[in-house]
Amino acid sequence: MFHKEGFKIITIAFLVFAALSIGVHFKIENHWIQKVSLIVLLLLFGLILQFFRNPKRNFVLNSEHILAPVDGKIVVIEEVYEKEYFKDKRLQVSVFMSPLNVHVTRYPIGGEVVYSTYHPGKFLVAWHPKSSEENERTTVVVQSGVFGNVLHRQIAGALAKRIVNYAKIGDNVTQSSDSGFIKFGSRVDIFLPLGTKIKVKLHQKVVGGITVVAQK
C-alpha cells in the first residue's frame, strides 16, 4: 500500500523506468551491460516504492499515551525552551527518519488543532541542533483533554524538499491519523508538558502510531 503523496511520483518514475528499460534493450548490445543497467534501474525504482509505502497497522488509541508521530530513531530527549508557541519550558522528544523509513507523519494525540503554520527555511541536516529553528518546517498544536496542548513539528532535512501538512485550525483529529508527510530524510519534534513520563530512550527505534513515547 502506498501513500497518496507518492502516486504522482511513482507514476512518473514507472514511465521513466519503462522508457529507459526499452532504450537499454534496443540501444545497448552488450548483454552484461544491459543486465547491470536494468538492475540499477530496478533498484532505483524499488527505493522510490519503499519511500512512499504506507503499511497497514493496527493502532491502539489511548488518550493517556503520546504515540510516536513517525518511524525512526529517538535522537533527542531533553528539557528545552520552546519559543514559537508555548514560550516556556517543555520536554522535547525528537525522532530522526532516514530515507528508508516510512515518512507518514501521524498525530501523536487526538483532539482539536489549535495552531498550524508553515515556516520556509534552510535544509540543514536533520540532526543539526539548529534545524528545529532554521530549516523548512511546520508546527502543529493539538489540544487534548489529558495532556493539554501538545506540539509536533515536521522538519525538513538536507534531502527533504517538500513538507506536506494536513492540519487545519479547528479540525478535530484522531490519534495516529495522518497529519502530514515529509519527502525524504527528515525529523519530527514533539513538545510535551514538564512532568510527562517519557517511555523511550535515546537511539531507540520507534514505529509511527504504535510506539508509546510518553504517558501521563
Q: Would you please indicate which residues are annotated as catalytic (active-site) residues?
A: 186
The residue assigned the cell 491519523 is: 177
Q: Which long-range contacts (CB under 8 A, 24 or more apart) does 73-80 make?
A: 73/203, 73/204, 73/205, 73/206, 74/200, 74/201, 74/202, 74/203, 74/204, 74/205, 74/206, 75/127, 75/187, 75/202, 75/203, 76/189, 76/202, 77/198, 77/200, 77/201, 77/202, 79/194, 80/191
Measured CA to CA, the distance from residue 80 to residue 74 in angstroms comes to 16
Here the cell at position 167 is 492540519
Q: Which of 177, 113, 182 is nearest to 150 (CA)?
A: 113
CB 111 within 8 A of CB 142: yes
CB 204 within 8 A of CB 73: yes
